[in-house]
Amino acid sequence: MTFLNLKLIKPLIVALDKMGYTQPTPIQEQSIPHILNGKDIFGCAQTGTGKTAAFALPILQLLSLNKNNNNSRNIRALVLAPTRELALQISENFKSYSNQLQISHTTIFGGVSQVNQVKDLQRGVDVLIATPGRLIDLMNQGYVKLNNIEHFVLDEADRMLDMGFINDIRKVIAKLPQKKQTLFFSATAAPEIMKLANTILVNPEHVSVTPVSSTASLVNQSVYYVSKENKRSLLKFVLKDGKIEHALVFTRTKHGADKVAKDLNNNGIKAEAIHGNKSQGARERALKGFKNRTIRVLVATDIASRGIDVDKLSHVINYEMPEQAETYVHRIGRTGRAGSSGIALSFCAQEELAYLKGINKLIKKNIEVEKSNPFS
C-alpha cells in the first residue's frame, strides 16, 4: 500500500515524496478513504501513529477540489487541539503537506498577544487550528465566525476532557453548521468520550489502531527502583552514558520540572523545562533547542508534552511515575516512532509502586527491572 493507492491528488503526493513518505500508517490507510468519501470518523489512536496526516491530507484535498465555491475570507476547516504545542505541531504538518496547494491556514492559542493572530484571521484563511480558550475568546470578540465550516476535527478529545475543556467544546460545537464533516480522535474510548462523540458524529466510521494498552513494540522498557531522594543522583548517573544523546524527561509537576532542569544545568548537562507556567516564547525556544539538539534534555510535564514530536528521539525517562497508567503509554510513545527504536527508563520510588503495578496491568507485562543500578 502506498499513498498513490489512496487516490490522493498529485500536489499532496509530491509534498509527501519530498518529506520521504511513501507508505501510509495503519490509521492513515483506514481513515483517508472514508474522509475523502465525506464520512464522519471516530478514530481511536494514540500519538505517534500518524494521526495528523490521517485527517490533514484528505481535508486539504477536499478543500482544494472544492475551492471554486469558497469566499476566501471564510474559515472552511477547524481543527481543535488541547495544547499550544500540539496546535503548532499540527500547523507544521499542514504547512508541509500544503506547500503545493493554494490553501491557507493559521494557528491561534493563548499565552501570547492576539494581534498577529487577528491579522491572519482578517486576511482570511481556509484552515484554522486552535486551542479552545483562545478560540472562544476571539469568537466572543467577533474575529472568528464558524458558520461556513465544512470540516471539523476534534483532536485528542480525551486530553480535552482531562483538561476541563468540555464546556468550551460544547460552545464551539453550538456555533458550527449542522451540515459538516466531523472527525473525532481520541487515544481512549472511555464512556465519557463515547458520550461526547455520540452527540456530534453522524453515522461515523470507526477506525482504531494501537490501543492504549499497547506500547510501541520498538521501545525497550526498564524500571529502576530508587528512593525519592536519590532520583536526582540516578538521573545524572544514567545521563553519564554517552549513548543518551537526547532525552525527554517527565515529571508530575511544574515545580519538579524546574528543579530537575536546574540541577542538570548545574551539573553541566544542558537542559530546559517546559510546562504551562512558561511563556509561549520560552516554550517554543526550549522545544526548538531540543529539536535542533542544542539542548540535550527536555524536562516536561504531561500537559506540556502533547505535541512534542521529535525525530529519532532515543530516550524517554520517567523521573516520576505517572499516576494514570494510560499516561505512561503516551509518554513512552514519544520514542520508537516512525520505525525507529527507542528506550524508556522509569524511576520508581517505594510510594510509586502502586502506579507501576497499574502500568504493568495495563500493558499486560511486567517492565524489566534494571540491574545496573547503584542506587537500588
Q: How confident is the model at residue 328 (pLDDT cuts 50, 70, 90)?
A: confident
162 has pLDDT over 80? no
Amino acid at 360: N
% of the chain surpassing 90 pLDDT:
59
Please report the DSSP string for 174-213 in residue order: HHS-SS-EEEEEES---HHHHHHHHHH-SSPEEEE-S-TT
Contact between 371 and 222 (Cβ < 8 Å): no
Burial of 232 (0-12, 13-18, 19+ CB in 10 A): middle
Specify whether the CB–CB gap between 224 and 375 falls below 8 A.
yes
pLDDT tier at 210 (50, 70, 90 boundaries)?
A: low
Q: What is the pTM of this model?
A: 0.68
Grid cell locating 92:
507544521
Task: Give CA–CA dist 140/149, Å, rounded.
Answer: 17
Grade residue 119 by pLDDT with cuts at 50, 70 and 90: very high
d(CA 123, CA 102): 14
Q: Which amino acid is at 54?
A: A
Distances in Å between the Cα of 311 and the Cα atoms of 48, 56, 247, 337 are 11, 20, 12, 8
Query: What is the predicted pLDDT for the residue at 69?
Result: 54
- Distance separating the N- and C-terminal Cα atoms of the chain: 48
Q: Is the pLDDT of residue 127 over 90?
A: yes
C-alpha cell at 326: 494510560
Q: Is the pLDDT of residue 303 over 90?
A: no
Q: Rounded to an integer, what distance in angstroms lies between the CA atom of residue 87 and that of residue 79?
A: 8
C-alpha span between 376 and 373 (Å, rounded): 6
Element (H, E) at 272: strand 271-274
Please state, in angstroms and rounded to a whole number, the distance separating the CA atoms of residues 186 and 252: 22
Ordered domains of the chain (ranges, CATH): 3-208 (3.40.50.300), 219-369 (3.40.50.300)
The rounded distance, in Å, linking the Cα atoms of 305 and 330 is 9
> Cβ(162)–Cβ(193) under 8 Å?
no
User: Residue 340 has what pLDDT?
Assistant: 63
